[in-house]
Amino acid sequence: MAKFDIKSVALQWYFFTTASVSVYEEFSHVFMKQFGLNSQQIGITNLCGVQHIFIPLLLYVGDRYRVRNLVIWIVSLLLAISSLLLLLPIVVSLPTCFGTTSGSDNSLNSTEFVGVQRQNVPWMSSLFLVMIVSRSSMTFLEGVAYSLASLATITYLDNERVRYGSYYMWRHVGTSVLIVTSAIIAWRVRIKICGLDGYGYFASFLIASFFFFLSLLSLPFFKFKYETDRTINWMEIKSVVLKGHYIYMYILTFHLGACVAFQVFWEFWYLDGLQASPLVMGAAALIRRPLLAVFLFTSCYVIERIGELNTVCISFLLFTVAFFALSFTRVYWYVLAVDTLHSAGYGLAKSALTVHFSKAGSKASSGVILGKFFRSFFYLRWLDILIHAKSLVQAIAKTKRWLCYMNKSP
């Protein structure tokens, strides 16, 4: 039975501090927008999630050579470094200002539909390359770090693995604290990029890097178990992959990944287009993330009561209702209200799928299975970015025209 000891605290601290990943993900899009990148370019910086293919490979190396502890040390250090790469165009003399094109005003405080000059960042530029390296590396490193942290947590909990959500919830507690802090600083600080004043979103990446370094304090207490006679059995993994049940679960995780894509990666960008300030974004995190932590904690009891598969079904229902409501929403405060349903669906699905895939094979194969299958939950989020980026631009343009019409109406 799991006890409240230093190992338990270390696992919770790691999830809390590596919440910096969410800070990076949520603010990176609006920061790139300040440099003039359009939505299609921002979507491409994730490289369509191709780097997810290599996550199971690195997890396999950790299993095969029994160096999971070394892998998570290296990955955690690289996370701290990669989060600072977005600041390279500010601190290093890179060409960041390019020709401008006429467009529609997306300024944070404007309610008028007026013409402004926009940057036109070339696809072949050092600025765009830096953004790609930073985003794609963060995606890869995050996948490895959370897979190993989840495996360490499952190993620690042993037969009490249904309580995984009570540990992972600390990521969202940390995200609430860090995003609110970053939002307040971004609101107070201004930065001029290519002659245009903007909010100081750059501060969020400094905060993220600092907490990534703090996460290293947990790593000495991480313990991983290996089989005594073998490290991994590819025939076992192959048999799991070809089972009809897990093929179906693989498809479900893809679908759930698409559901989560908007909230995790595009919501702040969307709120920015609806003239929301960083304080509103901070309020979104303050509402959404504690609720997500609550649902992750509650998922322990839900899974214990009705099972992980029924819990996934409930999450589907919540996402359905949420997106139906979001399709009629054009006011940013309503978006925050719909967030509660997204949070519930995400929290239940995250815990349920982790528990379910942890049962798919032996302890020796669990790291690769968790990495390969559960990370597919996030893989489609990158594809979703590319598919829907243009749709988001069109939706915001229509919203701004609607706001302009309402402002001019008597």
- Which of 101-110, 232-241, 338-347 is modeled with the greatest confidence? 338-347
Distances (CA, A) of 204 to 86, 225, 283: 11, 36, 15
Is residue 280 pLDDT above 70, yes or no?
yes
pLDDT of residue 293: 76
CA 124 to chain centre: 27
**Nearest C-alpha neighbor of 360 from the set 226, 255, 249:** 249
CA–CA distance from 235 to each of 239, 365, 378, 410 (Å)?
6, 10, 26, 71
Residue 196 CB neighbours (<10 A): 16
What is the rounded distance in angstroms from the CA atom of residue 132 to the CA atom of residue 44?
8
Rounded to whole angstroms, the Cα distance separating 347 from 339 reads 12
Cβ neighbors of 231 (< 8 A, separation 6 or more) are 63, 64, 65, 66, 364
Question: Given this model, what pLDDT does residue 76 score?
Answer: 95
Flag whether pLDDT at 399 surpasses 70: no
pLDDT of 355 reads 81
For residue 177 the two structure tokens come to 């604290």
Cα separation, 73 vs 67, whole angstroms: 10
> How confident is residue 372, by pLDDT bands cut at 50, 70 and 90?
low
Instruction: Supply the pLDDT for residue 295.
Output: 86
Nearest to 28 by CA among 87, 68, 70: 87
Which runs of consecutive H residues, i.e. helices, occur in 66-200?
A: 68-82, 88-91, 126-157, 165-188
User: Taking 60 as the threshold, does the pLDDT of residue 402 lie above it?
Assistant: no
pLDDT classification of 234: cutoffs 50, 70, 90:
low
What per-residue confidence (pLDDT) applies to 284? 80
Say yes or no to pLDDT of 32 above 70.
Answer: yes
Write down the pLDDT at residue 72. 95
Q: What angle do CA 266, 183, 196 make, to 5 degrees?
A: 80
- Concatenate the DSSP letters of all residues of 5-61 into one string: SHHHHHHHHHHHHTTHHHHHHHHHHHHHHHTT--HHHHHHTTGGGGGGGGHHHHHHH
The per-residue pLDDT for 99 is 53
Contact 325, 340 (CB under 8 A): no
Domains of the chain, start order? 6-98+122-223+232-407 (1.20.1250.20)
Q: Give the rounded distance of the alpha carbon of 99 from its chain centre.
A: 32
pTM: 0.71
